[in-house]
Amino acid sequence: MEFKHEPVLLKEVLEWLAPAEGGVFADGTLGGGGHSERILEKIGDTGTLYGIDRDEDALRAATSRLQGFPAFHAIHGNFHDIDELLPENVRLDGGLLDLGVSSYQLDTPERGFSYHEDAPLDMRMDRSAGMTAAEWLNSVSEKEIMSALYDYGDEKWSARIAKMIVERRAGQPLATTGDLVACVDAAIPKAVRRKDDGHPARRTFQAVRIAVNDEIAPLEQALNDWISRIRPGGRLCVITFHSIEDRIVKHAFRQMQNPCTCPPKAPICTCGKKPVAKVMGGGAIRPTKEELAFNPRSHSATLRVAERL
Ligand SMILES: C[S@@+](CC[C@H](N)C(=O)[O-])C[C@H]1O[C@@H](n2cnc3c(N)ncnc32)[C@H](O)[C@@H]1O
């Protein structure tokens, strides 16, 4: 299947990263390589771009797309582990994290991310490691499923859906995306289902995907590790697609800008914690009307930028 993914907020990312000839950059979520390709065009043969993805299919597709750029270095791994993935002495002129899944992952039924088609319930971005969604849903407690649905999907029917999953798996373990959709359908009353926006399983699928790929807990530390890798004046751009991630990025960037823990009325700072970055662009940067019109995926996208001090 062809790797189709329209990069979001591309113009804005290029403006903030301002890649120039010979620059050193890292894209922690390479995906189809859409953002990376434009960065590579700007940094030329004397630059370096580390393209990281935990999905080997994505890495393969992007490597084939970007093979004409000598500055491109593909790395299979989790951007949470930047210190293990990049050589120790490398300092970046800028970094990009475009969080979540790609259109390619969503549109490839056998990856198990989509509620539109019946396929094995996998949902792992890295198919070489970790539990599949089916293994996770068939093994964790009802409470753990409920918390994930509530925390990562804002699902108000989380308790009923979790109960239904546990009841059904006692008869037969969940195996396919269709099995999970059926649990959601059975748990949410029909009348309410019709009033809710979008597909009734949308929130559940988002939540299970986030849990299976451990997308939230390591994020704040990862942002701090990334900013430490950027040289003064360089920028870290982060694109999020839902409020849970956006809140973490917003909070982490504010902490970088103002880490002081002294009481607000203290006359001078005695905690010794110094700012490491400043927030750029006034906070949340959203797609233009033009982008919203041609790329529906950009609707929920928010870009935040921090500049290393
Ligand atoms: C939204 S897409 C990126 C699209 C890309 N910017 C482009 O223009 O084509 C997100 C990609 O990041 C990868 N990804 C998500 N979380 C990751 C993580 N923690 N470490 C490495 N890759 C990750 C996914 O596998 C997916 O390919």
Closest residue to atom 25 of ligand 1, CA basis: 55
Q: Are 210 and 219 in contact (CB under 8 A)?
A: no
- Predicted confidence (pLDDT) per residue in 64-105, tens digit: 999 999 999 999 999 999 999 999 999 999 999 999 999 889
Given a cut of 60, whether residue 195 has pLDDT beyond it is no
Q: Within this chain, do residues 224 and 207 fall inside the same structural domain, yes or no?
A: no
Task: Answer yes or no: is the C-beta of 35 below 6 A from any ligand 1 atom.
Answer: yes
Q: Are residues 198 and 133 in the same domain?
A: yes
**pLDDT band, very low/low/confident/very high, at 2 (cuts 50, 70, 90):** low
Whether residue 10 is predicted with pLDDT greater than 60 in this model: the reply is yes
Q: Is 1 inside any structural domain?
A: no
Percent over 70 (pLDDT), the chain = 98
Q: What is the average per-residue pLDDT within 125-132?
A: 95
Residues 6+ apart with CB under 8 A from 220: 248, 251, 252
58 ligand 1 Cβ < 6 A: yes
The answer to whether residue 3 is domain-embedded is no
- CA atoms 176, 182, 187, 190: torsion sign: positive
Concatenating the DSSP letter of every residue in 192-224 gives HHHHSSS-TTHHHHHHHHHHHTT-STTHHHHHH
Domain contains 63: yes
Q: Considering only residues 295 and 174, tell me which one the structure prediction assigns the higher pLDDT.
A: 174
Give the pLDDT score at 103. Answer: 86
DSSP-derived pairing of the beta strands 302-308 and 92-98: unpaired
Mean pLDDT of 259-285: 94
What gap in Å lies between CA 146 and CA 159, rounded to an integer? Answer: 5
* Nearest atom within ligand 1 for CA of residue 35: 8
Q: What pLDDT score does 198 carry?
A: 78
**Residue 243 is assigned to a structural domain of this protein:** yes
Name the band, by pLDDT with cuts 50, 70 and 90, for residue 31: very high
Cα(163) to centroid of ligand 1, in Å? 32
pLDDT at 3: 61
Q: What is the pLDDT of residues 161-173, one digit of tens each?
A: 999 999 999 999 9
Q: With a 6 A CB cut-off, is 7 part of the ligand 1 pocket?
A: yes
Residue 140 sits in which domain range?
Answer: 109-212
Do 87 and 226 have their domain in common? yes
